[in-house]
Amino acid sequence: MDYRQLDRQVGAFSSQLRTVVGLTDDEATKVATLIAAEVRFMEPPQRAAILAASPVPLYHRLEELSAFQAFMGIASRNRGNPPLTRAQVIVQNYVCFVYLSEACFFALRKNSKSASVTRRCCEFLTDNPIRAFRNAIAHSNWSYAPILRG
């Protein structure tokens, strides 16, 4: 599989990946490729532990993420529709911060090599302040900021 498109999308955040996550310049430009390679070359017991951590088969997770990506494309092409934009924000926050944490980030963090790109990214995505935001989304402790009217 070619991860260049994902690398380009994530690369938009390369500055933050370097300063906050601690990736090198080279790592920050090819995060998806490096994580895929690290997971591919994990020892069988670690890969088995990651798969066993989820009661939902991996192919179902991929179907959901494909549907999410399709929805994001539809929503992005329909700018100026406030209800759709709000739905996009809710879905995006849930999938990125709740679903993916539970589906893979925790298991990847536990089973990846210390100091690997995978481990550093998963630590960032499962520690505070991201964890606090994830909990706010998961437990309905958030709202949109009030609209300021002039």
* Phi-psi map region of 76: left, alpha, beta (phi>0 left; psi -120 to 50 alpha): alpha
The whole-number pLDDT of residue 22 equals 96
Same domain, 82 and 150: yes
Short-list 102, 93, 142, 94, CA closest to 122: 102
H or E element in which residue 8 lies: helix 4-11
Q: Are 100 and 117 in contact (CB under 8 A)?
A: no
Same domain, 52 and 35: no
For residue 115, what are the domain limits?
44-150
Same domain, 31 and 48: no
As for how many domains the chain has, the answer is 2
The whole-number pLDDT of residue 2 equals 83
Summary mean pLDDT of the chain: 93
Q: What is the pLDDT of residues 22-73, one digit of tens each?
A: 999 999 999 999 999 999 999 999 999 999 999 999 899 999 999 999 999 9
Q: Are 71 and 91 in contact (CB under 8 A)?
A: yes
The whole-number pLDDT of residue 149 equals 62
Same domain, 52 and 120: yes
Same domain, 99 and 123: yes
pLDDT at residue 150 tops 70: no
Q: Pull the structure tokens for residue 33.
A: 């490729």
Q: Are 111 and 49 in contact (CB under 8 A)?
A: yes
